[in-house]
Structures are given as structure tokens and as C-alpha cells.
Structure 1
Amino acid sequence: MLPPRFLLLLFCSAATALRVPCLSRRELLLGAGVGLPLAAPPSATAKMPLSTDEQDRLDALSKFSRDTLPSTTLPSGVVVLDLYRGSGPEPRAGDLVYAHFKVWPRNFRSGTPADSSFLDTRPHEWRLGTPDERIRAGFDEGIVGMREDGWRRLIVPASLAYGSAGLTTQRGVALVEPDEPVFVDVILVDGGSGRCAEILRPAGVSEVGARRLKSISCVRGAP
């Protein structure tokens, strides 16, 4: 299982001070030696800018994934890069899944994300094979084949993301321009183990009540 601190490293805002170790290609692909230091929950962490060294390490990791890792291009045009191969269940079409994601319009970790599940303080849930307003068709397709706790990056053509409409704020500010491809970070938090459902959809809780429950990692006692 990816430790909660790993989720926080990947999805906390750049305003949170984290100390990030360098990861080798083998560590990224096999998940070996990823003993990352524990980060405090965002609400309890001092709001400090990343040091130059920390920013350089994150940028190097991002560049490594783009330029060095082998990628697979699906027939639809979605490009898949596996950074961390999970060891948990592999969901099938129709299964309820929970995942964290971040979407950028220009490149991985390029400025403020256009959308992020981290802002919800819980993974996004949907039925695999049934895209929704936030999990677009290309995102859903790119997640097929992942195992629980896997970390994957996707480059999604505009036609399978936000299309000719793009993505805008309620005030009309463009987050993703029309016909622009997007870059997606995704971690499959629950691919069939049921750990997110246990915490975020406990028995006896209404749909409205369940939607109010929060857990970044779906691990009891962790953020």
C-alpha cells in the first residue's frame, strides 16, 4: 500500500513545505525504497514556499517521468506512463473505484492544476468505464489496467478531455483552452479492496452524509 505520506507528497499544494528524496528509476517502477518523510496534514502544516532544492527535486522527478520512463500510446491517442506499479486489486469495468487526480493544461506540474481531487479532501469515486464530469473519457480509459496504489501519468487528447469547450471557472476564466490536450496525475487509492468504501460509505449513512465524509488516504488514523 502506498503510505499516506506518499499521497500527501504527490498531491499537497506547492505551498506546503515537504522534504522530497530523489527516487531512482528502479524505485519508481518497483516501488522499492520509497520511505518518504511523514508530512503533516495541510491544515497543520506551516504555509511556507518550497526551498529551491525541494523545488528542483520535484521538477527533476517530473522531467524524469516525461523524458525517461517508457510510455504506451493507446489506440485512442492517450499516452500512459507508469511511475509506480501498484500491487493491489485491478478493477474491472463497472467496479466502484476511488482515485486522486490532478490535471494540468500545459505539462505535468506546470502551474496551478485545472482540477484536483485533493481539493475535495477525499478521492474521487466513479464506476470504471463510466466517465463523469470530472473523470473524462480519456482519464477513465487511461486508468484501465492500473492496480490499487498505482501511480500513473496520462497525456490525454482534447477530444477525450474537455474538447472544443475547454474548461473554465464559474466566472469564465479559462483553465483549459478549447481543443487543448491535458496532463493528468492519477493514483488509484481503492481499486477493489474496499478500504475507501469502508471509510467514505459506511453502512447506515445516507448518500448526503457519505458525501460529507473526508479522508485523503482512506486509512484510519491517517490524513
Structure 2
Amino acid sequence: MIEDLIVGDGPEAVAGGTVEVHYVGVEYDTGEEFDSSWNRGESIAFPLRGLIAGWQEGIPGMRVGGRRKLTIPPELAYGPAGGGHRLSGKTLIFVIDLLATR
């Protein structure tokens, strides 16, 4: 599920592009935060094609300056429980600020 919290007015992120973001990730069931670029004090740039499917589907169309909430089921994140990743089988929520796109 994609929810725009703030609609940006800058350039639009495109599938296969590279994005610079700030984000926080939490587990849907527990509300436990598992990752946050804000807590590390620096944004991060990613090529979208290297990210989980939920980000590959949820970020394109977002505009720089925007904030988007993505609720991502396991099949678009780290797969079913027992998949070998600590977040396998979990529905994840990300709040993402798009800072730049390349």
C-alpha cells in the first residue's frame, strides 16, 4: 500500500533510477524500528533495481520533496518466514523522504 504523506514538487523518481532518501523502517506487527537513516544522521542513495520489490514498486512516481509511507507485505520484502533474513515473513512499513533522483 502506498500513501503520500507529503506530495513533492521536484523531479519524479523513475523505475530503474537511483534515488537519495531518508527513511525509517518498522515492523507492522510490533511497531519495532529496524532501520533508520535519520538515526544514522545521513541520507543514502540507492539504485532502485537493487532494492526489495516493495521499494521498486512504491518509489517510482514519487517526487523530490515528497514523503511516502509504504506498507510492504513479506512477498514484496524479504519473503516468507524461514527465508533466512531476520525480516522474512514480516510486513514492513517504511516512511521515505525523497531527497534527489538521478
Fold-level match, TM-score > 0.5?
yes
How far did residue 91 of structure 1 move? 2.4
Cα RMSD for the two superposed structures? 2.1
TM-score normalised by structure 2 residue count: 0.82
- Correspondent of 2:26 among 104, 127, 142: 104
Cα-to-partner distance string for 1:139-176 (whole Å, 9 max, x where unaligned) = 221011100010000111101112122643xxxxxxx3
Which residue in 2 is equivalent to 1:180? 90
Count of equivalent residues: 100
Task: Name the residue aligned to 1:157.
Answer: 73
SS in 1 for 2:57: helix
2:100 is aligned to 190
Shift of 1:86: 0.2
1:121 correspondence with 2:41: yes
Q: Secondary structure at the match of 1:102?
A: strand
| Equivalent position SS for 1:92 | coil
Match of 1:131 in 2: 50
Are 1:146 and 2:62 matched, yes or no? Answer: yes
1:33-80 CA-partner distances (Å, limit 9, x unpaired)? xxxxxxxxxxxxxxxxxxxxxxxxxxxxxxxxxxxxxxxxxxxxxx00
The answer to whether residue 3 in structure 2 is matched with residue 81 in structure 1 is yes
Q: 1:140 is aligned with what amino acid? A: Q
Which letter does structure 1 place at the counterpart of 2:93?
Answer: F
Task: Give the number of the structure whose residues are more often strand, by fraction.
Answer: 2
Q: Structure 1 length normalisation: TM-score? A: 0.41
Secondary structure, in 3 states, of the residue corresponding to 1:114?
strand
Greater fraction helix:
1
SS of 2:25's equivalent in the other structure is strand
Give the 3-state SS of the residue equivalent to 1:140 in structure 2.
helix
From the superposition, tell whether residues 83 and 90 of structure 1 become closer, same or farther in structure 2 (CA, over 3 Å): same
Report percent identity of matched pairs. 32
Question: Which structure 1 residue ranges, 4+ long, deviate > 4 Å from structure 2?
Answer: none
